[in-house]
Amino acid sequence: MATPKPKKPKRSSARLGKPGSSSKAGLPPGSLVHVGSIKTNDTSIDLISYDKDSFEVFSQMNGTDVLQKTIEGRFNWIKVTGLHNIEIIGQLAGALGLHPLLTEDILNTGQRPKVEIGDDFIFFTMKALGTSDEDGDFFTDQVSFVLRENVLISFHERDLDIFDAVYKRMQIPESRFRINGLDYLLYALTDVMVDHYFNVMEQIAETIDNLEEKVTSNSDEYVLGEIQQLKKDLLLIRKTVFPLREALGTLIKMDNPLINHAQRAYFNDVYDHVMHIYETIENYRDLAGGLKDIYHSTVNLRMSKVMQTLTIISTIFIPLTFIVGVYGMNFERMPELSLKWGYAGVWILMISIALWQVRMFRRRKWL
């Protein structure tokens, strides 16, 4: 039984944008509209308050109570999960005194990574990259941070397990989280997201290796679809990483008391990782373009071989067709027709010509 061919991937290029962006058309600046997919059922607000001696977690808070729970002199991390509930996000943003344009950027999950510096806050937004368990497709989740003197607020589209390692380390009394400020927590959350970029790049590298093998051994049409999908994936990742390096560069160079000078070395390390990932993406894009060229070259080479074979066969039969055409003429006086061995002689002549041509083609390495 023949092995069924894989189906062509049917992933839309709309992933490079965000669904729902048109809903903001005509609205005044600062209008609170959620742009993007709803990735969790409810919007939840959790508060993690800690210092070197204690660690407390307050779950399922509302926008006003969470600020009352923050403790002066301690590090307070307010974690907001789910951005589709505009009422809850607006209530929290109003309690925090966030500018409407800043809140608009938080709700717009198609926002490019960037950093904004205020008098008493730092706003930083970036993308988390991952792979779907269902179909292996890449996805992006926007995570936004607002850093203040004793509060770090993070806004997540959904609860991501990539932060579990950070959460566990925070509970260890001897960990750096318990003695360093919230700028170190901002670094750690940023660093763990960038580290997962490397996991995605490893999957891309494996995909490229598999496609290289397929291109040289199988030039079916579905391979071209996989190459095109690879280029879309790389474009999506580039769109995520390219502006991030600019935002991190601004974060490192700025002079702001919210970022301790000692922590800038950590952010600089994240910046180096992002630059490495960006250079890798550019190399992979070149390889993806080369795969498409190899695919077309392979198809053209196979077609050329087919045409060469057909041409050789036609060339062999041209003199044979000429001979049988001569003896197919209806003349009364054709000397060879009356010979006893005429029929056999014509066959010997045609076979000799065919063998001579095959030998000549092999000498010239056309066969």
From 3.30.930.10, 3.90.550.10, 3.40.50.300, 3.30.460.20, which CATH number describes the 29-297 domain? 3.30.460.20
User: Which value, in Å, is the radius of gyration of the alpha carbons in the chain?
Assistant: 34
**Is 201 in a helix, a strand, or coil?**
helix
Residues with Cβ < 8 Å from 140, sequence gap 6 or more?
Answer: 127, 128, 129, 130, 236, 240
| Distance between first and last Cα of the chain | 32
Residues with Cβ < 8 Å from 295, sequence gap 6 or more?
Answer: 215, 219, 223, 224, 227
Choose between 11 and 56: higher pLDDT. Answer: 56
- Please give the Cα distance from 314 to 322 (Å, whole number): 12
**Confidence class for position 124, pLDDT limits 50, 70, 90:** very high
**Tokens encoding 139:** 């996805």
**Is 133 in a helix, a strand, or coil?**
coil
For residues 325-335, average pLDDT: 80
Strands 55-58, 75-81: parallel, antiparallel or unpaired by DSSP?
unpaired
Q: What is the CATH number of domain 306-363?
A: 1.20.58.340
Q: Is the pLDDT of residue 243 over 70?
A: yes
Choose between 343 and 4: higher pLDDT. Answer: 343
Amino acid (1-letter code) at residue 100: P
What counts of helices (H) and strands (E) characterise the chain? 8, 7
Strands 151-156, 75-81: parallel, antiparallel or unpaired by DSSP?
parallel
- Compute how many other C-beta atoms are within 10 angstroms of the C-beta atom of residue 38: 14
Residue 260 near residue 183 (C-beta atoms within 8 A): yes
Strands 151-156, 55-58: parallel, antiparallel or unpaired by DSSP?
unpaired
**CA 88-89-93 angle, 5° bins:** 120
pLDDT in tens, 215-236: 877 666 778 888 888 888 898 8
pLDDT in tens, 3-51: 444 444 445 555 566 555 555 665 667 678 888 888 888 889 999 999 8
**Tokens encoding 183:** 């700028």
Residue 236 near residue 138 (C-beta atoms within 8 A): yes
**Is 297 in a helix, a strand, or coil?**
helix
For residues 263-281, average pLDDT: 92
Start-end of CATH 3.30.460.20 domains in the chain: 29-297
**Is 79 in a helix, a strand, or coil?**
strand
Q: Is the pLDDT of residue 180 over 60?
A: yes
Q: In the prediction, which pLDDT does 188 show?
A: 94
Q: In the prediction, which pLDDT does 6 show?
A: 44
